[in-house]
A and B are shown apart, each in its own frame.
Chain A
Amino acid sequence: MQPVKWLVDFIDVRLGVREIYASELKGYLLPPKVNVWYTLGAVLIALFKLQIITGILLLMFYVPDAEKAFASIQYIMNEVPYGWLFRMLHAVGANVIVIALLLHMLSVLFMAGYKGRREFTWLSGFIIFNLTMGLCLTGYLLPWSQLSFWATTVATDAAGAIPVAGEFLVEFLRGGATVGNQTLGRFFALHVVGMPLLLLGLIAVHLFCVKRRGVSSPPFGKEYRASEPQPFFEYEKHQGGIPFFPNYVVKDAAVICFFIAFLLAIIFYAPGMFFPESAFQPADPFLTPPHIKPEWYFLWAYQTLKIFPSEIIGLGVQGLFMTFLALLPFIDCGPERRPAQRPLFMTCYVLGILGFVAISIWGHYS
Chain B
Amino acid sequence: MSCVVFRSVVLVILLWCPVVAFAADTVCVECHSGQPGALGEPVAAWRSSVHAAKGISCHDCHGGDPTNFALAMSPERGFIGAPEYDAVPAFCGRCHVGVLDAYLPGMHGQALDAGGAQCVICHGSHSVQKAGLELINENDCSRCHDYDRALEIKESLTGVDTRIKAMDHDLERLHRLGFATDSLASGLFNLRNQFHRIFHGVDVERVRQESGGVQTELDQLASAVEVIDDTLAQRKLWGSIVIALFVLAGVVLVLVRKTYEEEEQG
Contact = CB atoms under 8 A, between A and B. Distances in A.
B176 A275 contact: yes
B236 A272 contact: no
A146 to B, nearest CB: 13
Interface in B180-195: 180
A35 B210 CA distance: 70
Contact of B180 (A32, A74, A255, A277): A74
Contacts, number: 77
Contact of A78 (B180, B235, B260, B263): B180
5 nearest interchain CB pairs? Answer: A268-B239, A257-B250, A254-B253, A261-B246, A247-B260
B253 A264 contact: no
A287 B253 contact: no
Given A253-B253, A258-B246, A286-B17, A271 B260 contact: no
A305 interface: no
A288 interface: yes
A260 B246 contact: yes
Interface in A287-302: 287-288
Contacts of B250: 254-255, 257-258, 261
Contacts of A260: 246
A286 B246 CA distance: 45
A264 B243 contact: yes
Interface string B202-245: 00000000000000000000000000000000011001101100
A246 interface: yes
A11 interface: no
Q: Taking chain A's interface residues, is the majority helix, strand, or loop, or is none over half, making it mixed?
A: helix
Interface residues of B, number: 30
Nearest to B177: A271
Interface string A243-276: 0001100110111011011001101110110010
A77 interface: yes
A272 B176 CA distance: 7
B261 to A, nearest CB: 8
A265 B244 CA distance: 10
B153 interface: no
Given A242-B264, A253-B253, A258-B247, A277 B176 contact: yes
A286 B177 CA distance: 25
B179 A251 contact: no
B232 to A, nearest CB: 9
B260 A250 contact: yes
Interface string A165-176: 000000000000
A280 interface: yes
A272 B257 CA distance: 36
Nearest to A267: B239
